[in-house]
Amino acid sequence: MIVRLSRFFLVIITVIVAAVYLPQLYWVSFEPRVIPPMVFYSPVIQKFMIGHFGKGKYYFTDEDGRKYNRTQADHLLPLLNFRLLAARDEMPDSLLGQPITLNKVRRNNVSIRITPKEVNPPQIPLFPLFESKPPRLRLGLPDEYFRINDRMEFISSRTNRISDSLSQVFTNALISAGFHFPARKIFGNPTTRKPYDAGYFIVDRDWQLFHLKKVHGQPYCRNMEVPDGEKINWITVKEKELQEFCGIAISEDNQLYMVMLNPEGLQKLPIDGYDREQDNIIFM
């Protein structure tokens, strides 16, 4: 009797598991891959172009519906295809009356991609604060890592002890800039593999946004002046050779802003309908 019941329950469990996972396995294995179209702007024809890719097709259409093959699109999107055009010696020497060089295009060729998985992932609440102006010009990992609760604290990675002097200096700098503890969110790019260090962007208790970095061992702290009523949900920080801006900020109501460095501030992007929980977005 017990053996029969065991077999019965095993069959039931097998059926339930199969009912849940077999459809998922089917769609993963056999669902056709859909490649969404991509939108570009052509400075040559001064129109938006839509790229259609997948299933052996590769063509573009402009906003008037005119169709272009891949070779034609290469010349209409020279800033996107500059390496290919340069190799063919077909790169234009000016666009819209402005002279351009290959080095200038490379420097301004910035790409930032944001996916739902990258927004608000789990974080270890300890962050390295780099020296933004290193004497040997190379970024290096510091010995201390910081956290921000009722004050800013630096903890030695060697001794696991709090550096009270360093903590007090940076805490005072935040207070002087108008920061209200604790920090709600801390955004940065904690890697040495970048051309420079922009520091961290920190949201305080009152949803104010502050820019903090270490310059010659001393704190640099500024209020970024968030637009009235706006709350920053996430910032993707990506330092590139072009140092005019260093990332993209997303507000609670899904508005997008460029994080500008010169001058410092948030510049709103005219993009509607974006949802950080569902949409992928690429800035190029």
pLDDT of residue 33: 65
Q: Which amino acid would we find at residue 277?
A: E
The string of DSSP letters for 138-177 reads -----SEEEEESSSEEEEETTT--B-HHHHHHHHHHHHHT
CA–CA distance, 148 with 181 (Å, rounded to integer): 8
pLDDT of residue 67: 95
pLDDT of residue 176: 98
Nearest to 186 by CA among 226, 231, 147, 239: 147
Residue 89 is given by DSSP the state T
CA–CA distance, 284 with 262 (Å, rounded to integer): 19
Domains of the chain, by residue range, sit at 38-109, 114-283
pLDDT in tens, 204-226: 999 999 999 999 999 999 999 99
The string of DSSP letters for 265-281 reads EEEE----S--TTT--E
Rounded mean pLDDT of the chain? Answer: 90
pLDDT in tens, 114-152: 999 999 999 999 999 999 999 988 999 999 999 999 999
Between the CA of residue 216 and those of 134, 144, 182, 219, 220, what are the distances in Å?
7, 15, 26, 8, 10
User: Is the confidence at residue 253, as pLDDT, over 90?
Assistant: yes
pLDDT of residue 28: 59
pLDDT in tens, 9-46: 676 777 776 677 667 766 656 556 666 778 889 999 99
